[in-house]
Chain A
């Protein structure tokens, strides 16, 4: 049984997205704060590039919210590299308490939920949550190194190179973090690493239904329901699942479907990765800030895929978390 936590006075103060060049060509490009010219962010390795992007996001976010290092109580977040090495390399020079999280592509939502819990419990006044992913790092870690030059399948998703970071605060602002549903791990009985969107659809379905039940709400109550990175394939599966339950998934979109220009053949089934929903959050933030979206449900979907366990013929477990935001203008 997944639990649901409600928050009293927790607000989203600011959001920043930093991306690579491929995302810049996508339809959401106007909402990003900074785009690097390549995935390596002008560094020698993909890992260094990822660290640079995280640091850039942190600096921009502090500037945007007019805060300094001392104001931030704790940082929640992580990336997709082994042992979160890109994040540790980035935060080694920054004197703020740090909690590294790994929840695959649902890291951003988990970080947001945990930061909100800390604020709600009055442990700190401001917390930073972020998630980052990098195409080169993720390809090497979860599939094949880019140098191998493998042909991709149509259902493959492209890992977003980007960082999304937000400040969660106890000081009142226009966007309120209302509630957080922590998902359970669901064993998908599926081990196709080329179609992670389809793998994650069921766990997204579980967490949405559980959230609706716990908060006594209906799909129609939300102005926007966003899933993390189900891609074109996974979101079709999710829509089909709700249709079977005689519920019409209206006002729904998947950030993986939107982040890239899908007419470009090299984006295959869409975007994925921890950074996917984190950079899409820029769009949601600006819309909610202006009151164009009043109530929004964010679902982070993560395939807890490990290359070792897949080679040992194990299935890919998946997890999803949900956070509800409300505009209080």
Chain B
């Protein structure tokens, strides 16, 4: 069942994004940032954890999960360090994703060339 949920969850997000992309003047940059914002809102309301429990990987591989990790780190920071913890802990979980992206892009840029 979780496989079906994962498929539907990711598929719906992609479908929605494609409809927005085809019918508005928004660029892919606009759409991904909007998805990050939506993820942050869902996560702050406590809904994103529930979506992950239903859909598993279908929710965690999406860009919305990145903002969920940011919010999750901030919440923990708030609990152990107070208000300052929001800033110091924001990258606790998402740091791994960020450093992976940065290093992989760096390595790719050394060997790869853009195609069109």
Q: Which residues of A contact B (CB under 8 A)?
A: 135-136, 139, 146-147, 149-151, 153-154, 192, 194
Looking across the interface, which residue of chain A has its beta carbon closest to that of B28?
Answer: A151
Interface residues in B4-57 by Cβ distance below 8 A to A read 21-22, 25, 27-28
Interface size class of B (residues with CB under 8 A): under 10
From residue B97, how far is it (CB to closest CB) to chain A in Å?
Answer: 21
B28 in complex: contacting residue of A139, A146, A150, A154, CB < 8 Å: A150
Indicate if the CB atoms of B21 and A153 lie closer than 8 Å. yes
In the bound assembly, the distance between CA atoms of A153 and B20 in angstroms comes to 11
Looking across the interface, which residue of chain A has its beta carbon closest to that of B113?
Answer: A147
A147 in complex: contacting residue of B27, B28, B114, CB < 8 Å: B114
In the bound assembly, the distance between CA atoms of A149 and B115 in angstroms comes to 8
From residue A65, how far is it (CB to closest CB) to chain B in Å?
Answer: 35
Indicate if the CB atoms of B21 and A154 lie closer than 8 Å. no
Query: Cβ of B22: which chain A residues have Cβ within 8 Å of it?
Result: 153-154
Per-residue contact bits, chain B 72-116, to A (CB 8 Å; 1 contact, 0 not): 000000000000000000000000000000000000000000101
In the bound assembly, the distance between CA atoms of A146 and B22 in angstroms comes to 20
A146 in complex: contacting residue of B25, B27, B116, CB < 8 Å: B116
From residue B14, how far is it (CB to closest CB) to chain A in Å?
Answer: 12
Looking across the interface, which residue of chain B has its beta carbon closest to that of A148?
Answer: B114
Query: Cβ of B116: which chain A residues have Cβ within 8 Å of it?
Result: 135-136, 139, 146, 149
Looking across the interface, which residue of chain B has its beta carbon closest to that of A194?
Answer: B25
From residue A231, how far is it (CB to closest CB) to chain B in Å?
Answer: 17
Query: Cβ of B21: which chain A residues have Cβ within 8 Å of it?
Result: 151, 153
From residue A142, how far is it (CB to closest CB) to chain B in Å?
Answer: 14
From residue B26, how far is it (CB to closest CB) to chain A in Å?
Answer: 10
In the complex with contacts A146-B114, A147-B114, A149-B114, A192-B25 CB distance below 8 A: yes
From residue A323, how far is it (CB to closest CB) to chain B in Å?
Answer: 33
Query: Cβ of B28: which chain A residues have Cβ within 8 Å of it?
Result: 150-151
Indicate if the CB atoms of A150 and B27 lie closer than 8 Å. yes
Query: Cβ of B114: which chain A residues have Cβ within 8 Å of it?
Result: 146-147, 149
In the bound assembly, the distance between CA atoms of A192 and B25 in angstroms comes to 7
Query: Cβ of B25: which chain A residues have Cβ within 8 Å of it?
Result: 192, 194
Q: List 17 A-B residue pairs with CB atoms under 8 Å apart, sorted by A's residue number.
A: A135-B116, A136-B116, A139-B116, A146-B114, A146-B116, A147-B114, A149-B114, A149-B116, A150-B27, A150-B28, A151-B21, A151-B28, A153-B21, A153-B22, A154-B22, A192-B25, A194-B25
Query: Cβ of A149: which chain B residues have Cβ within 8 Å of it?
Result: 114, 116
From residue B109, how far is it (CB to closest CB) to chain A in Å?
Answer: 10
From residue B63, how far is it (CB to closest CB) to chain A in Å?
Answer: 15
In the bound assembly, the distance between CA atoms of A150 and B114 in angstroms comes to 12
